[in-house]
Structure 1
Amino acid sequence: MTKVLVLYYSKRGNTQKMARLMARGIETVEGCEAMLRTVESDLPDAEKPSDVIITEQDMIDCDAMIIGSPSYFGNMASPLKKFIDSTGNLWFSGQMEGKPAGVFATASSLHGGQETTLINMMIPLLHFGMYIVGLPYSEKSLLYTESGGSPYGATHWADFQSNRGIDKNEKQLCLAQGKRIAELAKKLGA
């Protein structure tokens, strides 16, 4: 079974919804399993995590990884960064090298730093030696989205009060990204 880790941080539930869509996309690929994980939060007013808390062993055991975060000043949220920063021994040992990886993000405003957040989340994945996988324009939702999504990864514009749900284009991009990374992980593992 090919295991694809979907690691996320979500303060208000939007990034978690995207993570679950990624997992659905992964599991459309025969022989692939999504491992949904989150991180502990020390931010004020954060909801208590309802998914399993990530361990380094989860990262070692996965065949691919997708990470997601709300955009905080154009960067990933500190709880996710704190965890990533604690995994230096995985970088040093090379245990993540050669695995496909992708990124996704949410933001409270339409131009709230989604693309810079995606790019900033790619940096540690590149340091791990992972293969960055984006979304091609053959995904037609990239052409029609009015709210979220880029070739760097799926995004969602939640609005300032997090009242805006994931629209059909954002949903399709999440499903497609999960499926694309799972297919690549399966091919590389074959």
Structure 2
Amino acid sequence: MKTLILYYSTYGHIEAMAQAIAEGARSVPGSEVIIKRVPELMPEAVAKSSGAKLDQAAPIASVDELPEYDAIIIGTPTRYGRMAAQMANFLDQTGGLWFQNALVGKVGSVFTSTASQHGGQETTLISTIVNLLHLGMTIVGAPYTEKRLTQIDEVMGGTPYGSSTIAGGDGSRMPSENDLEIAKSHGRHVASVTMSIVKGR
């Protein structure tokens, strides 16, 4: 059973979440996990001047490889309550796969990062899920069996629609221990559900 964690990360927050989700998914026996990212659209000079993290280890994904996976977990920071342009550009290229029904029945899930607690986490996650539904994917979230989702004693991410983190207005806050544990739980849940589906085929 193969899971792709497909992400875009400007400053490294989503990259860190992707690694935590991968750790959780890999804890499910028989689960192979690949981490890849979508291409950057900013010119390199602009990205460098913006402080973007350009030294990310994950290789660049291609649209054509998506049908190879049983599950695809998509990570994107928010841009005004929706996914980043880099991820939207990548998903906009899946028309051929849509026409072929190539992703129908695959498991899809999402995660995100925002600058503030109310900066569009849920709208970003839900609007990204809409794309996956159009592709015929089976959506899996991050259920409340993960009890950290109900904690309110500290600033933290986490929603039933998918795991998340809060970066801070200047991007200085990296995912907390709780954020990363929720992400691991999220990855483990997606992999477990996917494994059940694959075994039932």
Q: 1:60, 1:136 → 2: CA distance? A: 26
Partner of 1:53: 60
| Number of matched pairs | 189
State the partner residue of 1:13.
12
Single out whichever of 143-152 and 44-53 deviates more from structure 2. 44-53
| 1:66 correspondence with 2:65 | no
Deviation at 1:28, TM superposition (A): 0.3
- 1:23 and 2:38 correspond: no
SS at match of 1:36: strand
| Aligned pairs for 1:111-126 within 5 A | 111-126=118-133
Over the residues paired in the alignment, what is the CA RMSD in angstroms?
1.1
Q: Is the 8 A contact 1:5 1:58 kept in 2?
A: no
- Provide the residue aligned with 2:169 in structure 1: 160
Query: Does 1:100 pair with 2:107?
Result: yes
| 1:77-88 mapped onto 2 (5 Å cutoff) | 77-88=84-95
TM-score, normalization: structure 2? 0.90
Aligned partners of 2:79, 2:174: CA distance in 1, in Å? 19
Contact 1:8 1:16 in 2 (8 A): yes
How big is the shift at 1:109?
1.4
Name stretches of at least 5 consecutive residues in structure 1 with no aligned partner.
none
How far the C-alpha of 1:52 sits from its partner, in A, is 0.8
Pick from 181, 185, 189 the counterpart of residue 190 of structure 2.
Answer: 181
Mapped contact 2:3–2:73 kept (Cα < 8 A): yes
Match of 2:150 in 1: 143
Measure how far apart 1:58 and its partner are: 2.6
Distance 1:67 1:89 in 2: 19
Q: Residue type of the partner of 2:197?
A: L
The letter of the residue matching 1:55 is: S
Amino acid at match of 2:128: M
Q: Flag the structure with larger Rg.
A: 2
Matched-pair contact (CA < 8 Å) for 1:142–1:169: no
When structure 1 is superposed on structure 2, of 93-102 and 164-173 the one drifting more is: 164-173
Q: Flag as ranges the 4+ runs of structure 1 deviating above 2 A.
A: 46-50
- Residue 86 of structure 1 aligns to a residue whose secondary structure is helix
Structure 2 distance, partners of 1:136, 1:108, is 23
User: Which letter maps to 1:150?
Assistant: T
Provide, for residues 28-50 of structure 1, a one-character-per-residue CA deviation record: whole Å limited to 9, x for no partner: 00100111010111233233343
How far has the Cα of 1:72 moved from its partner? 0.5
Structure 1 counterpart of 2:139: 132
Q: CA deviation at 1:100?
A: 1.2
